[in-house]
Amino acid sequence: MQGFQCASPEFTTAKLALKNKEYTKAEGYFEKEVKKNPQNAEAWMYLAETRLYLRKYIESNEAAKKAIEYAGKNLKIQLQAQNLRSKLWRDVYSRLIINLNKYAKTKNDTIGQLAIQNADVGLKLAPYIFDFYNLRGYIYQLMDNKKSSIADYQKYYNEILPSINFAKEHNLFIDIPLDKVIKNLGKPSLMSGTKQQNGDSLVFAVFNVDKKDLYVKAVSDGNIFKVKTWRYNPPAEMLEADKLLVFDLSSDPIVELIQYYYNKKEYPKALQYLKGLLILKPNDEQINNFMVTLYTDMGKKDEATKRLEKLIKADPNNKSFRLSYGNLLMQMKRYDDAIVQYNKALQIDPNYYDALRNLASAYKNKAYVIQKRQIDEAKGDATKMKPDEYLPFLKLSGENFEKCRKTPKYANDINVLFDLVDIYFVTKNQDKLKRIVAELEAIETLVPKEQLENYYLGMVKIFDQRLPNEVKFEKYQKKAQSLK
């Protein structure tokens, strides 16, 4: 006879108020109903929905939990409540993004605090959505609250660490072809695809590895599907739709952690996060170059050498690894070995201008070493100098500097131009020397503010030693002094 019972007046009034969008009134009557009939799963579900409209996200979530608890075998209510719980955090996430963007533009403290509140609520609703830590950390970063920002970035890293560890064990990284992942892990148990607004194709694949699920997102621009992110062993309480969402594994918070601890000279801590980042992006040139810098500062050049040699052995045609190895060899003053690596990088890509630029520096440094040795051996006797031994390397240096200047990146690079001044001065090529100096004078207004002091000091040196000119010497000297 249970099914023939009449609904209570409170329940009837509440549903009518909800239908009429009188949400505050509806909430009050649904609350009376669940207090009177606490096992009424349908009333709990309606209460959760009403609170969503009122943006009472935490309270709505609690009501949805109650609906699931009392739904029993009523799969319809269970599914409705689960979907609503997913909608809650998604709605909060959308509002967080809106407020974050507004704060980034306006720096209005009220909006910034509202964005933080959104993140706080999101983490209470769905603590397994780790991107809330990333976004809240970024807001704190915009607020110059370094302590809170770093704390959130560390929490974010801890959340994605299982996925990083999985990647390390199974050779998974960002931009690896999906076909290679399938070859390595086997056929996925589920694969679904969609078309994005920009025309790219999106694929979600689910693999079962060690009796745990791995969710992978891959994107194709029409040629090949490349993995963009993944999540290993997500919490069981997540809806399948939420698991398939798979937020990107952002490198930005990890970079901030690395830089933070590097600046504090806490190198082991910086290295810990750097190793994690390298698992995600093993082919990233800047990251590998920073690894070299970090190992060097730690006095561990041998470890950096071993890592780069291992990377090159595994992927000999990777120009970035060749460049990074060449840079390390340059720091170790092994110029001949560095020249070999830069040339191999250029064999892979003749237009690899970073390799050209550093190859030019390697030739110049090699010439300097030879010249210095001759000066030491000559002991002041100029007749014992043998320019023919080092001049060819200076000429090669100049040629490569000129080549790399054909790209916008190095066309007006003051360091490249000053190097060419030195080369043309030593090789006694007055025409080219005057041309480069004229170019340096012409780009004064284009020099970045942070480089102005070096620029003026370089010009002082030129008009004092390379092309003596008292008027210009005093002009640039005054400009250099005005910056102090």
User: Angle at Cα 393 formed by Cα 387 and Cα 396, nearest 5°?
Assistant: 135
Residues 132 and 203: their CA atoms lie apart, in Å, by: 24
Which residues are 227's β-sheet partners? 218
Q: Are 29 and 10 in contact (CB under 8 A)?
A: yes
Q: Which amino acid is at 68?
A: I
Closest CA to 147 of 260, 255, 269: 260
Q: What is the structure's pLDDT at 1?
A: 28
Q: What is the structure's pLDDT at 77?
A: 93
Structure confidence by residue, pLDDT tens digits, 87-112: 999 999 999 999 999 999 999 999 99
DSSP alpha helices (H): ranges in 107-170?
A: 109-125, 131-142, 146-170
Structure confidence by residue, pLDDT tens digits, 151-198: 999 999 999 999 999 999 999 999 999 999 999 999 999 998 776 665
Q: Are 227 and 215 in contact (CB under 8 A)?
A: no
Structure confidence by residue, pLDDT tens digits, 269-323: 999 999 999 999 987 878 887 888 898 899 898 988 988 898 899 889 989 889 9
Residues 95 and 312: their CA atoms lie apart, in Å, by: 46
Q: What is the structure's pLDDT at 2?
A: 38
Tokens of residue 143, six digits: 């607020």
3-class DSSP assignment, residue 173: coil
Say what the pTM is.
0.75
Averaged over 198-214, what is the pLDDT?
A: 87
Tokens of residue 304, six digits: 């950096």
Residues 484 and 478: their CA atoms lie apart, in Å, by: 10
Q: What is the structure's pLDDT at 199?
A: 62
Q: What is the structure's pLDDT at 435?
A: 96
DSSP string, 191-256: EEEEE-TTS-EEEEEEEEETTEEEEEEEEESSS-EEEEEEEES--TTS-HHHHHH-----SHHHHH
3-class DSSP assignment, residue 281: coil
Residues 304 and 483: their CA atoms lie apart, in Å, by: 38
Residues 59 and 84: their CA atoms lie apart, in Å, by: 12
Place of tokens 């009429």: 20
Structure confidence by residue, pLDDT tens digits, 419-458: 999 999 999 999 999 999 999 999 999 999 999 999 999 9
Residues 334 and 22: their CA atoms lie apart, in Å, by: 77
